[in-house]
């Protein structure tokens, strides 16, 4: 698998993160190609990785076993339609990381027989700690699913969904999710400063606490509700803070926010596909 020819169309942050993770996992860099219109970005990539780069998308995909569409959603239609003939001849696995673009639309642009895996990674993929939702169309074989999973797993965990409509929920939860935690951490830091802590102290305590809580939850066999109960002593400081959150309707606020994000994801996808 690691010697398969892998082509990235688009060499931005997500492509760079995936390439770094794959090479760290043992993928042969000589079998990785990147095509991008930005020559400076390509130069930055070749400084970091011993890979092949080009500005010609069509030559990049020739003979590729896997093609990763890592361009912005606003330009993917033109890119896909330009590559359609070449891809129809070689029939590689196509992995899309373009937010909001459905599998059916990609298939319309690329060809009905194209094996497509649509993904929704998030920004922590840049530090190999991402969470990616994935959906495969019926043209994707079991081996190709395994390949797609291996590629995205290089930057974090991978979760498959059987219903593409759930990708909007994935976008709302994990795709946009890092920003929610950043906002909460920002508020905690500000509150810590108001309580008298120096800025650096408030920041470090906040970030390490967030990291530690996430690590505990990932490594525990218990659900987060059980973990929360275990660290909440009756009549203690934690209970007092949690009661304040609940009195102000934190759970309802979170549900409302994620619903709004999912609806917006659906709206944006519809607009991009027109």
The enclosing domain of 120 has a CATH number of 3.40.50.720
- Which structure tokens are listed for 112? 């009905």
Burial class (CB in 10 A: 0-12, 13-18, 19+), 241: exposed
Q: Does one domain contain both 221 and 165?
A: no
| Domain match, 164 and 55 both | yes
Is residue 102 included in any domain, yes or no? yes
181 shares its domain with 258: yes
In whole angstroms, give the CA distance from residue 91 to residue 74: 24
In a domain, 137, yes or no: yes
Residue 150 pLDDT exceeds 60? yes
Structural domain range at position 56: 6-171
Q: What is the mean pLDDT of the chain?
A: 94
101 and 151 part of one domain:
yes
Q: Average of pLDDT values for 162-188?
A: 96
The per-residue pLDDT for 267 is: 86
**Structure confidence at residue 151 (pLDDT):** 95
The model's pLDDT over 39-77, given as tens digits with 9 standing for 90+, comes to: 999 999 999 999 999 999 999 999 999 999 999 988 999
Answer yes or no: is 88 within a domain. yes
Is 274 a member of any domain? no
Nearest one of 194, 182, 193, 176 to 260, comparing CA atoms: 176
Q: Which two tokens stand for residue 6?
A: 């892998």
Q: What is the pLDDT of residue 100?
A: 86
Number of domains the chain contains: 2
Average of per-residue pLDDT across 141-161 = 96
**Separation between Cα atoms, residue 13 and residue 209, nearest integer Å:** 27
Query: What's 253's domain CATH number?
Result: 1.10.3730.10
pTM: 0.89
């Amino acid at each position: 698998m690691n010697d398969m020819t892998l082509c990235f169309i688009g060499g931005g942050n997500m492509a760079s993160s995936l390439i770094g993770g794959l090479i760290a996992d043992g993928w042969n860099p000589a079998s990785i190609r990147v095509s991008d219109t930005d020559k400076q970005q390509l130069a930055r990539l070749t400084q970091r990785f011993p890979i092949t780069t080009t500005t010609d998308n069509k030559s990049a995909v020739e003979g590729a076993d896997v093609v990763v569409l890592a361009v912005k959603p606003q330009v993917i239609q033109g890119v896909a339609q330009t590559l359609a003939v070449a891809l129809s001849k070689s029939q590689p696995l196509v992995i899309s990381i373009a937010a909001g673009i459905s599998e059916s639309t990609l298939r319309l642009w690329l060809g009905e027989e194209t094996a497509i895996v649509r993904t929704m990674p998030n920004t922590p993929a840049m530090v190999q700690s991402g969470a990616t939702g994935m959906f495969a169309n019926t043209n994707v074989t079991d081996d190709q699913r395994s390949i797609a999973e291996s590629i995205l797993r290089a930057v974090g965990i991978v979760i498959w969904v059987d219903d593409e409509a759930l990708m909007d929920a994935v976008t709302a939860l994990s795709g946009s999710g890092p920003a929610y935690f950043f906002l909460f951490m920002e508020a905690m830091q500000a509150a810590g400063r108001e309580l008298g802590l120096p800025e650096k102290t408030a920041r470090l305590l906040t970030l390490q606490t967030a990291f530690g809580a996430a690590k505990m939850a990932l490594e525990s066999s218990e659900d987060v509700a059980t973990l929360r109960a275990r660290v909440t002593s009756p009549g203690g400081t934690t209970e007092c803070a949690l009661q304040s959150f609940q009195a102000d309707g934190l759970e309802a606020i979170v549900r409302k926010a994620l619903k709004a994000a999912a609806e917006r994801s659906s709206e944006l996808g519809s607009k991009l596909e027109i």
